[in-house]
Amino acid sequence: MSTIKVIAACALFTWSAGSFSQPAPREPLQNVAQLSASGSVEVQQDLLSISMNSTRDGVDATAVQSQLKQALDSALALAKQAAVPGQMEVRTGNFSLYPRYGKDGKINGWQGSTELVLEGKDFPRITSTAGKIQTLTMGGVSFALSREQRTKVEGEAQTLAIERFRVKAGEIAKSFGFSSYSLREVSINANDQGYTPRPRVMAMQAKSDMAESSIPVEAGKSTVLVTVSGSVQMK
């Protein structure tokens, strides 16, 4: 009997405590404006990436893997001779080996591929090295902004965006009859939009045509966009 009373009392206390802990209703926001502004800076892309690859197939998996390894080792040895930190970095990419199936659903051979990537700011060094590699063919060319360039340009675009946000906030406050404003909350987002032109060379061009010659490429530009959005208290 006492147990039931205690439980009931606890339940009553819990309900009572819960009723007292209810938060007071928030007052509706007044004289608050939501707005956004952006700043953009166009800049030349300064990072080049060229991927070199090769594919092999055969009936023996070990033989196919060995051929890919030889092609990659030869290209890697040549590329490392020209590598310079920050100017041309060399790294291996995808290396895959998978079975090939016949119409009967059984394995009748093996296919594989390997990749080497040359990347950096020294365009002539990278394109010249790519042109000398004979065991791999060019798979693709892409351009981007280096970390240093991106940081510099984002700072410039952010300064523009913040200034435009401040001017816009002041104009809005004045239009509604207020003399000033204060920041309530703000968020800043950055991204870049770049166009990467196609290289003036076919990716599967014959190796003999590429021997000892630089691959002609031309970088495009990226537009770094920073957007500032948030709310202000007009007063």
Q: pLDDT tens digit string along 20-46?
A: 555 655 667 789 999 999 999 999 999
**Among the ranges given (54-58, 97-101, 132-136, 196-200), the one the predictor scored with the smallest mean pLDDT:** 196-200
Q: What is the mean pLDDT of residues 168-178?
A: 95
Q: For residue 68, what pLDDT band results from cuts at 50, 70 and 90?
A: very high
Whole-model pTM: value is 0.70
- The backbone torsions φ and ψ at residue 201, rounded to the nearest 5 degrees and listed phi first, read -160, 140
More confident residue, 192 or 165: 165
- What was the pLDDT predicted at 213? 61
Q: What is the mean pLDDT of residues 81-89?
A: 93
Q: Is the pLDDT of residue 61 over 60?
A: yes
Quote the tokens at residue 3: 């147990």
Dihedral of CA 186/40/149/213: which sign?
positive
Nearest to 189 by CA among 72, 74, 86, 38: 38
The count of C-alpha atoms lying within 13 angstroms of the C-alpha of 59, restricted to the half-sphere facing its C-beta, is 1
Hey, what's the torsion of the CAs at 179, 180, 184, 186, to 10 degrees?
120
Q: What is the mean pLDDT of residues 145-172?
A: 94
Give yes or no for a contact between 45 and 27, defined as CB atoms under 8 angstroms apart.
no
Give yes or no for a contact between 118 and 49, defined as CB atoms under 8 angstroms apart.
yes
